Structure 1
Amino acid sequence: MVAEDIRFPSLGQSIGGHLTTGAAKGALAFVFAWLLTLVSKPDASLGHLAATLVFSYLIAEIVSAVIERPIVIQRNRTQPGGLAYVLLPFSASLLITFVATFGITKDMVPAKLITAIVAVLNAVKIILTKSWVPGPTPEKDQEMFNEFKTMSKEHFAEDVERIKNQARESTKKKYYAKKERKENTE
């Protein structure tokens, strides 16, 4: 497949996807932060911790998408895999989270706590999605799409034919009914 024929998601679409997963991770992080405030008594309020989570996830997910973009384009895959693809966004999100939390709370304990929560959630996401493993090449993607299209045509061929026949019969009935009404009025 020629490189010009390959259509990668735009940067905006990539950022949108990152923000969506970031919202899910942020909600889980908030639950964990709330549970930890019940167990330990950090100097920061739950509102400050929530604000740091929202701010840090928003910035970290946008930065992650921007960091991943050149790797995606260079390797010519939507999921290129490799250590750089995994570790650069992961490290950036931890740094952003730590700086944001410390900047808002002005305390090292909540900064370490929130950074640890974010690190665990991001590590779980990386492990579940196996981000280090390269995804299919564009050629393989196209091949899988063509196989799916062929399979769908074969699977639904009888239904399509039945629907076409019903449509033909319905159209024919309507035509003759209309023709009969015109003849009766004349």
Structure 2
Amino acid sequence: HVPECAAWTWDARPYPFFPALTDVWTDGANWRLGHWLTGRLGAVSLAALVRHLCLRAGLPESRVDVSGLWGAVEGYAITALESPRASITTLSRHFGFDALETEGVIRFIMRGRAAVASVAPDDLVAAREGDVLELTRGQETELPQALKWQVARADEDYEAAQVEARRITVDTTRIASESFPMAVPPEEA
């Protein structure tokens, strides 16, 4: 906690019209990376949500470590009776994190971080005769050409939005698609 710290730049312009209507307000494009509080206070941190779901599952707080998570959840709907584990699994697919157990503590860690250890082939133990390490190359036709996600728009009336990422170098027609019960800002989607 920082003493004498105050929240500022609560904008009187109505969210989400500001920042969306850039023809009316020319500084709307700055909102995404700016200092405005308007439109941001309804989100919850990913770490806090995962911690809450773990506690709801009956895990003691001392056995849960969410310090490796970052990001904000604008909206998340649990539309059916499901376990906290199922809810965390959906969040992990969307935000890209893994859960692992170390010394009795469940640690949640974002993917794509820097390596924490390097393992050389000489450090490996052969399970059978032959090479210690075997590399398998996947066929290009087994890879998806496109990934499609369906989410709800966080800046509208939670209308469905579909985003897509395509590979231009893959010679295949496979499409991987998934639907998430989450409200996501368009730029994040």
Is the shorter-chain TM-score for this pair beyond 0.5, marking a shared fold?
A: no
Q: Flag the structure with higher helix content.
A: 1
Q: Looking at both structures, which has the greater relative contact order when contacts are Cα pairs under 8 Å and sequence separation is at least 6?
A: 1
Q: Flag the structure with higher strand content.
A: 2
Query: What's the TM-score bracket when you normalise by the shorter of the two chains?
Result: under 0.3
Larger radius of gyration between Structure 1 and Structure 2: 1
TM-score of the aligned structures, taking structure 2 as reference length:
0.25
TM-score of the aligned structures, taking structure 1 as reference length:
0.25
